[in-house]
Amino acid sequence: MPELPEVEITARLLDSALRGAVIESALAPGINALKTFDPPLSELSGRQITAVRRRGKHLILQSSGGLALLIHLMSAGRLQLYDKLAGPRDRTSRLLLRVAAGAGDADAAGAGAAAQPRELRLREFGSKQAAWVKLLAAAELEQDAALATLGPEAWPEPPPLAELLDAPRPLHTLLRDQHVIAGIGRSWVDEILWLARLSPYKRGGDLEAEEAARLRDAVLEALGGAIAHYEQTVQLPIPDKLPMPLRVHRHQGEPCPRCATTLQAVHFEDYVIAYCPTCQTDGRVLKDRRLSRLLR
């Protein structure tokens, strides 16, 4: 589940490895991953990679000549760089960029590392093929609907949350809404609400000023802490399974790391929220709000 911290570390590692490198060829073996046809992907050949960066949960790879690849990994995608052309020959690669050795290589690989071409691959795991790629003119990037509709970044400088979340919707829903605030998904939202000691069902509009400030601190602590953790533990190629330093999400049934109460899980719409009843809901056990029940 790549969310802001996972996409951020991917962008950082790829930026340091690829900045200055020249793209030899670009292919999209799974046609449905590529959502644009003009300019064609072959336009990237011969261009230099000028930056790899993140916006929300999106990756952006910029090239010389004013082109940009906009990539969304969705729930099961990874953007992986293989040193040689000996990466896995599998059917999970949705985008293949063959990259010549570039300016960044000497620092990254050390002296003596040959000018070995490398492959940047968008691979997708699981049954759903949902990750997507757009090749756009860099000047039009910010107007693309995927980016133009994003809310402010959740990290490193989120705006004050009292106004941003002032709506009659549960915090759990608001924080994951990319149009409200960009970067948080179903894993990190559990950690954030647990850190802030707030109920996932509390309505954004009901936040006291002090709670809103606490929640903002929790957003920064959870996301910033995860990025710092990945800086220490993750290297290229990004592993198929990125070990996320989660303490609450998917830990239902285990003791709360803060108070030792058993963490609970509640079904909300089509997924599962983990929380601590003592820390977050005044001891109350939350009731399921399954989508199937709401629709009835």
C-alpha to C-alpha distances, 221 to 55, 218, 263, nearest whole angstrom:
19, 5, 20
Tokens 């690989």 sit on residue: 109
**CA 258, CA 278: separation in Å to the nearest integer?**
10
218 binds Zn ion (CB under 5 A): no
Minimum CB distance to Zn ion, residue 256 (Å): 3
Q: Which of 258, 267, 289, 290 binds Zn ion (CB under 5 A)?
A: 258
248 binds Zn ion (CB under 5 A): no
193 binds Zn ion (CB under 5 A): no
256 binds Zn ion (CB under 5 A): yes
Do you know the residue count of the chain?
296
Find out whether 273 and 172 touch, Cβ atoms under 8 Å.
Answer: yes
Stretch that binds Zn ion, among 59-67, 140-148, 183-191, 274-282 (CB under 5 A): 274-282
Minimum CB distance to Zn ion, residue 217 (Å): 17
- Residue 10 is given by DSSP the state H
Instruction: Find the residue with minimal CB distance to Zn ion.
Output: 256
Residues contacting Zn ion: total by CB under 5 A: 7
Query: Which tokens is 114 given?
Result: 């040959």
- Name the residue nearer to Zn ion (CB basis): 139 or 259: 259
Stretch that binds Zn ion, among 24-32, 164-172, 233-241, 250-258 (CB under 5 A): 250-258
**CA 36, CA 216: separation in Å to the nearest integer?**
37
DSSP per position, 58-119:
EEEEEETTTEEEEEE-TTTEEEEEESSS-S---S-EEEEEEE---TTHHHHH-TT-----EE
Minimum CB distance to Zn ion, residue 195 (Å): 11
257 binds Zn ion (CB under 5 A): no
Q: Which of 67, 279, 281, 286 binds Zn ion (CB under 5 A)?
A: 279
- Structure-derived torsion over alpha carbons of residues 96, 97, 98, 104, reported in degrees to the nearest 10: -140
- Name the residue nearer to Zn ion (CB basis): 184 or 276: 276
Q: Which of 85, 113, 259, 291 binds Zn ion (CB under 5 A)?
A: 259
- Footprint of Zn ion (CB under 5 A): 256, 258-259, 261, 276, 278-279
